[in-house]
Amino acid sequence: MIECQNGIHIKGTNFWLDARRKVDFSFISHAHIDHAVRHKEILTTKETARLYEHRFGRAKFNILEYNQPKRFDSAYFVTHHAHGSKFEKPKSKDGIKVELFPSGHILGGAQILLEIEGVRIVYTGDLKLRKCLTAKKAEVKKCDILIMESTFGLPRYIFPDRKEIIDQITEFVDQALSFGQVPIFLAYSLGKAQEIMKILGLRGYKTSVHQAIFKIAKIYEKFGVKFKNYEHYQAEDLEGKVLIVPPYVRGSRMIKKIPKKRVAILTGWAIDSGCKDWFGADEAFPLSDHADFSELMEYTKLAEPQKIYTVHGIPEFPDFLRKEGFDAEPFKESTKVTKTFSKELLLNYVLFIRD
């Protein structure tokens, strides 16, 4: 019923989910670059549409609000059906019932529920179960087939409580400021950066943010996620402020010319020893936009699927799901990452794709 090649495709239909090559019609779960490609028509939330336009230019959107189901008619079925089980022959008369619901990943991030002939398919996109300040909390819906991300799908990736992480972050900031140093956070420009802006702003810290982050924060504010005590980065005006920049800026002149500084990287990969050294950072804190291993397991128990496919991440994750009694397998194109991360792989993940 489902195939995975350059994205996920529901066989017999025009429905693609996070297609990675140009197609006629694709759902886009959120506006990170590994999920956003130019298509003829894009099904997504209004927030993701705006962020997508900001990053990739104009497109034709089919907007759905969270939790507002919509039926797509026979026009979304292709004429030649694959043969095989009933799953592979959706009948056009009933169409496909579609509902988007929050993924908790970043602003506008959505999961999708498709109902075809009574079969409920959920695709999570990138996911986080724990609450944060800048994205709606994720929901879990019961389904028959679950296609889920597995970025942190190994038992060693268990993040501490959020409060504990934030306490460590504020301690890092207080210490740096007390020594007259500029505390600098390396944080992905869409999602992570806004979350740390919000956290620090609410605690009364003043932040100076890189242009890429500033522009995206303005879009967040249009959708009601407001920030306190922040301003656009100005080289000569950093005293007493916390600087927030995307990770790729670490080696730039902008950072090099700051004489007294303490640098921290914010990423789930902080769990791996060596992470901070690879980023040239003094500290690494596991503030992540993704579910950790226990959240992924919790999700599957709540969703109660008969079949699980994993994508985007660790191919060994289904082994752990099978131990819990699930019928689970990775889609073949899952990235071959794991137990031994290379520095290049990790940098690529955090800098450009999956932090």
- What is the C-alpha to C-alpha distance for residues 109 and 138, in angstroms, rounded to an integer? 9
In the region spanning residues 39 to 78, those forming contacts with Zn ion, defined by CB under 5 A, are none
Q: For Zn ion, which stretch binds (CB under 5 A), given 24-32, 148-156, 220-228, 258-266?
A: 24-32
Q: Minimum CB separation from Zn ion for residue 81, in Å?
A: 33
Q: Minimum CB separation from Zn ion for residue 223, in Å?
A: 17
DSSP per-residue letters across 111-154: EEEEEETTEEEEE--S---S--SSSPPP-----SEEEEEETT-S
- Residue 32 or residue 50: which is nearer to Zn ion going by CB? 32
Q: Minimum CB separation from Zn ion for residue 350, in Å?
A: 12
- What is the C-alpha to C-alpha distance for residues 34 and 55, in angstroms, rounded to an integer? 12
Q: Minimum CB separation from Zn ion for residue 63, in Å?
A: 20
- What is the C-alpha to C-alpha distance for residues 309 and 316, in angstroms, rounded to an integer? 12
Q: For Zn ion, which stretch binds (CB under 5 A), given 36-44, 121-129, 215-223, 268-276?
A: 121-129
- Residue 32 or residue 250: which is nearer to Zn ion going by CB? 32
Q: For Zn ion, which stretch binds (CB under 5 A), given 5-13, 30-38, 174-182, 246-254?
A: 30-38
Burial 340-354 (b: 16+ CB within 10 A, else e): ebeeeebbebbbeeb
When asked if residue 126 is in the footprint of Zn ion (CB under 5 A), the reply is: yes
* Binding-site size, Zn ion (CB under 5 A): 2
- What is the C-alpha to C-alpha distance for residues 198 and 191, in angstroms, rounded to an integer? 11
DSSP per-residue letters across 303-320: H--SEEEEEEE-TTHHHH
- What is the C-alpha to C-alpha distance for residues 182 and 177, in angstroms, rounded to an integer? 6
- Residue 100 or residue 116: which is nearer to Zn ion going by CB? 100
When asked if residue 355 is in the footprint of Zn ion (CB under 5 A), the reply is: no
DSSP per-residue letters across 169-235: HHHHHHHHHHTTPEEEEE--TTTHHHHHHHHHHHTT-EEEE-HHHHHHHHHHHHTT----SEEE--T
Q: Minimum CB separation from Zn ion for residue 73, in Å?
A: 31
Q: For Zn ion, which stretch binds (CB under 5 A), given 25-33, 176-184, 192-200, 328-336?
A: 25-33
Strand, coil or helix: what is 110?
strand
Radius of gyration of the chain (CA): 21
- Residue 307 or residue 352: which is nearer to Zn ion going by CB? 352
Q: Minimum CB separation from Zn ion for residue 30, in Å?
A: 6
Strand partners, 16: 9, 26
- Residue 182 or residue 265: which is nearer to Zn ion going by CB? 265
Q: Minimum CB separation from Zn ion for residue 124, in Å?
A: 11
- Residue 268 or residue 305: which is nearer to Zn ion going by CB? 268
Q: Minimum CB separation from Zn ion for residue 149, in Å?
A: 8
When asked if residue 32 is in the footprint of Zn ion (CB under 5 A), the reply is: yes
- Residue 32 or residue 136: which is nearer to Zn ion going by CB? 32
Strand partners, 122: 113, 146
Q: What is the dihedral of CA 237, 270, 136, 314, to 10 degrees?
A: 140
- Residue 115 or residue 126: which is nearer to Zn ion going by CB? 126
Query: What residues line the site for Zn ion (CB under 5 A)?
Result: 32, 126
